[in-house]
Amino acid sequence: MKRTTYLSLTLLALASVFTSCTNQGKKSNGALTSNAAERVYVPPGQYDEFYGFLSGGFSGQLGVYGIPSGRLLKVVPVFSQDPEKAYGYNEETKPMLNTTHGFIPWDDTHHPDVSQTNGVLDGRWIFMNANNTPRVARIDLTSFETAEIMEIPNSAGNHNSAFVTENTEYVVAGTRFSVPIPQRDMPIKDYKGNFKASLSFLSVDQDNGHMDLSFQIRLPGFNYDLAHPGRDKSHGWIFITTYNTEEAYTLQEVNSSQNDKDFIAAVNWKKAEEYIKAGKFTTEATEYAHNIYNEETHTATSTIKKEVRVLEASELPGLVYFLPTPKSPHGCDVDPTGEYIVGNGKLSADLTVHSFTKMLDAIENKKFDGEAYGIPILNFEDVLGGTVKQPGLGPLHTEFDDKGNAYTTFFISSEVVKWKVGTWEIIDRKPTYYSPGHLSIPGGNSQKPWGKYLLAMNKITKDRYLPTGPELTQSAQLYDITGDKMVLLSDFPTIGEPHYASMVPAELIQPKSRKIYNLEENEHAHATTKDSDVRIERNGKEVHVYMTMIRSHLNPDNIEGIKVGDKVYFHLTNLEQDFDVPHGFAVMGAENAELLVMPGQTETLVWYPKKVGVWPFYCSDFCSALHQEMSGYIRVSPEDSNIELSWGLGD
Ligand code: RUQ
Ligand code: CUA
């Protein structure tokens, strides 16, 4: 234990040495070549070449940026409520944030992953994980809205998620924390052998993207950190880093760093499908929410599902193998050919690369080195494909270009290192400011990388921007990787803490981008698609206001007969059918903020009138020259008043 403590102290000390080095280096540094500014400059009125989807980390959102400019285009609320677009506040989208733990409006998201066809990014959907209360979301890349959220049962710390297979057959999600499964009351010290992990396979309907929890694989109680599906020759497998194979449950910093090697778990999901077909699963009772937003009714529903099919890894031969990998590996990355699996051992001096071909051979010839909970451990030397010697300190993640190169981030030595796949030689290294986590290359985790840019996402910002008090924005850095040497082009601030990002050529998404919702297709239960349908209905204390919005009035704009103690539903339909003409809606004293209604869309805000008076409401989005006129009044009378319900627009 002493030695390990010493090791972490050394790493810490090194970290500060390196940080201060790079800090100083930066002041005089000529990292920017003279034409770097030109290479990220997108002239007014022109478009970026790529979309960058950067996870919002602890903000629970997804940031959409233009690359190379770094311009922020949109923040998509996913596992969050959004005071810009009313997601999670309006009645239509509240069900999206429902779970079996109740309404969870804030989560921690790390890994956006774009759908693929034949191992190439296709720009249909982006999937993303919620770490804390395990969920997987699907964001539709025509509307750029969260379209679906699936809660993951039997999981805890859904960090190892969401990873998309080559034809988007599955989105795979594993547990970072092992827990009692099923959950029960038991002493923490009995962790070893009793806590378990699960790997969930969510199938995806290729027509509409709908997810279904197809099955789970039950695994030993290690920590499963990151994963990548095999591709091309290794299609049908998924590779997952583990740490804490010690099964420590306290002071993990030390106790989880004892073993010389942890594992990369190689899971054969084609085999899993065979076992499912052959009925080798057990159906377990559990509970999880499945939430879907319907684009016709503009309304989300939440359904609680009750069971899941489970495959027990220790009992099913050929399903899972362990590849020994030094030392507490974090990222697990597969090269574009599918042959090499890179384990980024956080505490290892070298980068370990496994060979898929050798792995198959080792399996066939039973080159085993023992087993863990009934799962064969393959012999390290027999699966080793190569080693990148002393590339840097604290490797976290690796991506690939289209010329046979790999790029790895090093957190402690604060740099990106370029190396050659196959010869394992180091070609280039460039500092990052400071301490990068993930990096991203467009298509860099698929069969087809577009090796033009590399984005490093840094954990520490320090002095890169004007200070903003104790809380600083996070920072991304863009490199040109078209030459032998990487060239730093720019810094740009990001929201939350991006872990992974996915970058996609704009041409795959831009032509399909939705402009409006067609009024004729609006099937919202409370839509008002023409002015003659404007009305107010009272049902006891419940009042429904069917209101329309168009430049530049709200209809009705005078309402009387509302009483203290009512519950008023404002159903707003935006009658516009032009691109980029949303209207907002705000009414004084509303507890749940405002609405922002897209052309042709209907949204609902609930308002509890608590005080007698005449209260204004208005459009909160500057929509026209007479936007300031787009307003009205609602009269609230005492609870026992007998003022008749009435409404109007002019005379
Ligand atoms: S992780 S910064 Cu959350 Cu993907 Cu490595
Ligand atoms: Cu409508 Cu401002």
Residues in the chain: 651
Q: Please provide residue 540's backbone torsions phi and psi, each rounded to the nearest 5 degrees.
A: 65, -125
Residues 6+ apart with CB under 8 A from 595: 86, 90, 570, 572, 584, 585, 586, 603, 604, 605
375-378 and 384-388 beta bridge pairing: unpaired
Proximal ligand: closest to the CA of 157: 1
Q: Closest Cα to atom 1, ligand 1: which residue? A: 499
pLDDT in tens, 54-77: 999 999 999 999 999 999 999 999
Residues 6+ apart with CB under 8 A from 559: 536, 545, 632, 633, 634, 635, 646, 647
Q: Please provide residue 344's backbone torsions phi and psi, each rounded to the nearest 5 degrees.
A: -95, 85
- Alpha-carbon gap, residue 417 to 389, rounded angstroms: 12
**C-beta 110 within 6 A of ligand 1:** yes
What is the position in ligand 2's atom list of the atom closest to the CA of 627?
2
End-to-end CA distance of the chain: 83
- For domain 525-648, the CATH architecture is Sandwich (2.60)
Cα 499 to averaged position of ligand 1 atoms, centre (Å): 5
Class of domain 50-512: mainly beta
- Alpha-carbon gap, residue 607 to 587, rounded angstroms: 8
pLDDT in tens, 618-632: 999 999 999 999 999
**Where are the strands (E) in 405-551, listed by range?**
405-410, 415-420, 426-431, 436-440, 453-458, 474-480, 487-494, 501-505, 535-539, 542-550
Cα 583 to averaged position of ligand 2 atoms, centre (Å): 5
**C-beta 159 within 6 A of ligand 1:** yes
pLDDT in tens, 419-474: 999 999 999 999 999 999 999 999 999 999 999 999 999 999 999 999 999 999 99
Check: CB of residue 437 under 8 Å from CB of residue 411.
yes
pLDDT in tens, 277-324: 999 999 999 999 999 999 999 999 999 999 999 999 999 999 999 999
Proximal ligand: closest to the CA of 440: 1
What is the position in ligand 2's atom list of the atom closest to the CA of 584?
1
List the strands of the sheet with 237-243, edge to edge.
Answer: 223-229, 237-243, 262-268, 320-325, 375-378, 368-372
pLDDT of residue 36: 86
Proximal ligand: closest to the CA of 551: 2
Residue 593: pLDDT band (50, 70, 90) is confident
Domain boundaries of the chain, sorted by first residue: 50-512, 525-648
pLDDT in tens, 461-482: 999 999 999 999 999 999 999 9
What is the position in ligand 2's atom list of the atom closest to the CA of 623?
2
Cα 537 to averaged position of ligand 1 atoms, centre (Å): 51
What is the position in ligand 2's atom list of the atom closest to the CA of 622?
2
**C-beta 226 within 6 A of ligand 1:** yes
**Residue 34: pLDDT above 90?**
no
Proximal ligand: closest to the CA of 111: 1
**C-beta 346 within 6 A of ligand 1:** no
Residue type, 180: P
Residue 103, H or E segment:
strand 102-103
Check: CB of residue 324 under 8 Å from CB of residue 263.
yes
Mean pLDDT of the chain: 94
DSSP SS3 for 508: helix
Q: Copy the structure tokens of residue 17.
A: 């040495």
**C-beta 438 within 6 A of ligand 1:** yes
CB crowding 417-447: b at 16 or more within 10 Å, else e: bbbebeebebebbbbbbbbbbbbbbbbbbbb
Cα 630 to averaged position of ligand 2 atoms, centre (Å): 6
